[in-house]
Chains A and B, each alone.
Chain A
Amino acid sequence: MQRLLLLGDEAIAQGALDAGLSGIYAYPGTPSTEITEFVQHSKQAFHDNVHCTWSANEKTAMESALGMSYAGKRAMVCMKHVGLNVAADPFINSAITGANGGLMIVAADDPSMHSSQNEQDSRFFGKFAMIPILEPANQQEAYDMAYVGFDFSERFKIPVMLRLTTRLAHSRAGVVRKPVRKMNEGNFPEDLRQFVLLPAIARKRYRNLLKLQDLFDQESEISSFNKYIDGPDKSLGIIVCGLAYNYLLENYQDRIVPYPVLKIGQYPLPKKLIGKLMDECREILVLEDGYPVVEESLKGLLGRGVTIKGRLDGTVPRDGELNPNIVAVALGMEDTFGLPVPSLMVNRPPSLCSGCPHIDSFKALNEVLADLPKGRVFSDIGCYTLGALKPYEAINSCVDMGASITMAKGAADAGLIPSVAVIGDSTFTHSGMTGLLDAVNDKSHVTVFILDNGTTAMTGGQESPAFGRIESICKGLGVEEGHIHVLKPLKKYHEENVRIINEELAYPGVSVIIPRRECIVAVDKRIRDKFKTKQNA
């Protein structure tokens, strides 16, 4: 059988396409970006006219996917774990409304924070919403779960979450495809009031969701993604979730695991299977990538009864992603190691590219602020966050998408004047616009830098929803035209840029400064693509 070599992310995309997907909605975010990009580059998706353009943020993506589900078609929405925070309102309520066409929410978590601000575990969110969660152990399961998840969603008229972590998202392996299914014809929801969450209806819908819980429990007991694999040595029982299963097997190559193992790939947790394991084994070890979600629920508040080992008792480190060595140690095996890292080793953190326009922006900003006490520049998430590092050390905060403008406003309200915000073009339309409106309405003394490099750079150069619209958005939100300045962040304009920034810092109201120059990586790519087209012509 032909195997396709796919990233976990790509396997999800292919599984969804083969299941008759009509639309994918997302805002780029590591490690989830490649799901949508795969659909964007898929001939199959192009041929079938599958919707796949980027959304402005995760909330708009989630709502659009819900709308597509309302209209009877299969929709997928993808985000990184913190993106789910942005989409939380429609996400939680989509469990109350229920789905019509199959609806799948993919949350890609990032334990160890390779490219993130925290390592929150989306399984908590799935449980919070009271919807079923699928968690693949490998690329094939990622494909299979995306494929069958839509059937599940339509059978119970409920959104389904698919949760994975960075290592699976960004690791390739062979995947075998299933038959391609046709897209749904559109149809209206059976009950047209189902999506009207007025209190009286919402109460009814919520009771419906509560009633479904027993059915979800039953499904988990018989799911092929939850497997009880017996073993002769009952001194230990192992509950292993998602990708952690591979790390377990890595430690038992060419032999079977001596202990009974319960492999979890579908939630809510299968109570009967867990009960069986706990009855038969003296101790339980829980291996899960992310928070101790399963471990905590088994332990309960007091932790009495069967001994549960995992992240909470130190058998497994409390934070960070799992790996085969951590699992070996948890199993009481001898750890393995190669040679030590030589003492001369230094870190090589990511840095702004040579020729990056942000460098010129930070140099100008630093010069203007040089004589003031440090600590008045609020920023958020994008390549420009690297401005926090040496040699620039130009920004003082990075909390969440859009927080630059609102935190600068709050600090200005507290009397920190001048107060500066540094945000990127794509982040501005993701979550900065509403904050700017607050600042305008309050006539806050803030200077907002919208660093416009024309792309969503950090995640690999996706098109920016802000492209060509920033000045008109700012004007539309009420920023005075005389206080919107477009600068060219280049060395030769440095003096002029410094002068304009100085003037605007003194202005006791909202100023917007837009240093505009194309991302250097995007320029490079554009030239290469042009060359390629020329050659192929």
Chain B
Amino acid sequence: MKRDIILAGVGGQGILSIAAIIGYAALEQGLFLKQSEVHGMSQRGGDVQSNLRISDKGIASDLIPFGKADLIIAVEPLEALRYLPYLSHDGWVITSIRPFLNIPEYPDMEKVMEEVRKLPHYVALDADEIAKEVATAKAANIVILGAASPFLDMNYEKLEDAIRFTFRKKGDEVIAKNLEALKAGRKFADDHMNS
């Protein structure tokens, strides 16, 4: 078993929380893991990514080579496209379609979506909207995680356990909402896989 995942977003959007949850679930299953993160300057509203590698065998490089990522999980559509050189030919892109508009020259949204729809394998969803419906807007990253869950080669229950662990200090209500967000994302993916 091996999953090489690029997590992408804008500083502050919570990609490291997604990484932490997947990472916890992986460790609980006795898998090896390497996860490279971006700290420092870029966290101030810049583009950030994390390389998350999970395997049942030892992992060499902290960085995923170009063309080898099984998954790009993005909480922002432009950021999903930024890391396409990493995507393997049969890899999937899971992305939110909600743009994060903090730059003046953000490309035309219709053109961005055109590029997303050109991808061979993708799930694209308005995670903010779904999160608001079933939980709170803050859980958008968990909705994305839910949408990515069919591609992680991991037991769904293990992800639920990881959410319970990650939010254990925040009370039962927060846990319940995040589990709902996860479920809603999962459902969307099951209904909308494009291939």
Whether, in the assembled complex, A478 has its beta carbon less than 8 Å from a beta carbon of chain B, the answer is no
Query: Are B40 and A348 closer than 8 Å at their CB atoms?
Result: no
B167–chain A nearest beta-carbon distance, Å: 13
Asked if A337 meets B78 with Cβ closer than 8 Å, knowing A5-B33, A30-B40, A390-B104, the reply is: no
Report if A459 contacts B (CB, 8 A). Answer: yes
What distance in Å separates the Cβ of A103 from its nearest Cβ neighbour in chain B? 26
The 8 Å CB contact of B11, one of A250, A253, A324, A350, is A350
What is the total of A-B residue contacts with beta carbons within 8 Å?
A: 160
Across the interface, do B111 and A344 meet the contact criterion of CB distance under 8 Å?
A: yes
Please tell me which one of the listed residues A171, A174, A253 contacts residue B36 in the complex, with CB atoms under 8 A apart.
Answer: A171
CB under 8 Å from chain A, chain B span 30-63: 32-47, 51, 59-63
Scoring B residues 65 to 90 as 1 if CB is less than 8 Å from chain A, else 0, what string do you get? Answer: 11111000000001101101111110
With most chain B CB atoms within 10 A of its CB, the pick from A115, A342, A383, A458 is A342
Q: Is the CB of A351 within 8 A of B105?
A: no
Residue of B nearest to A137 (CB): B60
- B62 and A174 contacting across the interface, CB-CB below 8 Å: no
State how many angstroms separate the Cβ of B51 from the closest Cβ of chain A: 8
Residues of B within 8 Å of A248, CB to CB, are 60
A167 at the interface (CB under 8 A from B): yes
Beta-carbon contact of A344 and B40 below 8 Å: no
> Residues of B within 8 Å of A, CB-based: how many?
56
A-B contacts, 17 listed (Cβ < 8 Å): A3-B27, A30-B41, A114-B38, A114-B42, A167-B63, A247-B61, A248-B60, A249-B61, A336-B65, A338-B69, A339-B119, A342-B81, A344-B111, A346-B78, A351-B44, A383-B44, A391-B104
Known: A3-B27, A34-B39, A328-B65. 15 other contacts (CB 8 A): A170-B38, A171-B34, A171-B51, A172-B37, A173-B35, A246-B61, A249-B60, A325-B66, A337-B66, A342-B115, A344-B115, A350-B44, A353-B44, A383-B44, A459-B40
- What CA separation (Å) do A535 and B169 show in the bound complex? 10
Is B85 a contact partner of A339 (Cβ separation < 8 A)?
Answer: yes
Cα of A460 to Cα of B41 in the assembled complex, Å: 9
- Please indicate the chain B residues that have their CB under 8 angstroms from the CB of A243 in the complex: 62
Contacting pair B45 A350 (CB below 8 A): yes
User: Of the candidates B41, B47, B66, B169, which one forms a contact with A336 in the assembled complex, judged by CB atoms under 8 Å apart?
Assistant: B66
How far, in whole Å, are A403 and B158 apart by their CA atoms in the complex?
Answer: 52
| A274 to B154 Cα, complex, angstroms | 45
B82→A345 contact, CB < 8 A: yes
Among the listed A5, A115, A170, A353, which residue makes an inter-chain contact with B41, where contact means beta carbons less than 8 Å apart? Answer: A115
CB-nearest residue of chain A relative to B171?
A: A535
Question: Does residue A402 face the partner (Cβ distance < 8 Å to B)?
Answer: no
Which one, B10, B27, B91, B111, contacts A338 given CB within 8 A? B91
Q: Are B44 and A386 in contact (CB under 8 A)?
A: yes
- What bracket does the count of chain A residues touching chain B fall in? 35 or more
Taking a contact as CB atoms under 8 Å apart, the answer to whether B66 and A460 are in contact is no
Question: Is B134 engaged at the interface, CB distance under 8 Å to the other chain?
Answer: no
Contact with B along A1-14 (1 / 0, CB 8 A): 00101010000000
Residue of A nearest to B46 (CB): A350
Decide yes or no whether A72 CB sits under 8 A from chain B: no
Q: How far is the CB of A225 from chain B (nearest CB, A)?
A: 17
Q: B111 to chain A: which residues have CB within 8 Å?
A: 344
Among A33, A249, A337, A344, the residue within 8 A (CB) of B67 is: A337
Mark interface residues in A517-537 (1 if CB within 8 Å of B CB, else 0). 000000000000000100110
Interface residue? B185 (CB, 8 A) = no
B106, CB-defined interface residue at 8 Å: yes
Which chain B residues border A31 with CB–CB below 8 Å?
39-40
Residues of chain A in range 312-351 having any CB-CB distance to chain B below 8 Å: 323-325, 328, 335-342, 344-351
Q: Mark A152-177, 1 if CB is under 8 A from B, else 0.
A: 00000000000000011011111000
User: How far is it, in angstroms, between the C-alpha of A351 and the C-alpha of B48 when the chains are bound?
Assistant: 13
B44 close to A173 (CB less than 8 A):
no
With both beta carbons as reference points, the residue of chain A lying nearest to B11 in the complex is identified as A350
Chain A residues within 8 Å of B, Cβ to Cβ: 3, 5, 7, 30-31, 33-34, 114-115, 167-168, 170-174, 243, 246-250, 253, 323-325, 328, 335-342, 344-353, 383, 386, 390-391, 458-460, 532, 535-536
Known: A338-B69, A338-B85. A324 touches B61 (CB 8 A): yes
| A350: chain B residues within 8 A (beta carbon) | 11, 41-46
* Residue contact B63 to A324, C-beta cutoff 8 Å: yes
Do A5 and B78 have beta carbons less than 8 Å apart? no
Contact residue among A7, A250, A352 (Cβ-Cβ distance under 8 Å from B60): A250
The answer, among B34, B59, B84, for a CB contact under 8 Å with A339, is B84
B102 within 8 A of A: yes
By Cβ-Cβ distance, the 4 closest A-B pairs, closest first, are A30-B40, A115-B40, A350-B46, A250-B61
User: Counting CB contacts under 8 A, is B146 at the interface?
Assistant: no
Decide if B39 touches A250 in the complex (CB within 8 Å).
no
Cα A60 to Cα B144 in complex, Å, equals 46
A536 to B170, CA, bound (A): 9
Q: A336-B65, A350-B43, A351-B102 are in contact. Are A341 and B38 (CB under 8 A)?
A: no
Q: CB-CB < 8 A to A33: which residues of B?
A: 39
Docked pose: A174 CA to B62 CA in angstroms: 12
Q: How far is the CB of A166 from chain B (nearest CB, A)?
A: 9
| Residues from chain B with Cβ under 8 Å of A390 in the complex | 104
Interface string of B119-155 (1 = CB under 8 A from A): 1000000000000000000000000000000000000
A324 engages B59 (CB within 8 Å): no
Q: Are B85 and A348 in contact (CB under 8 A)?
A: no
**In the complex, which residue of chain B has the Cβ closest to the Cβ of A323?**
B63
Bound CA span A383–B37, Å: 20
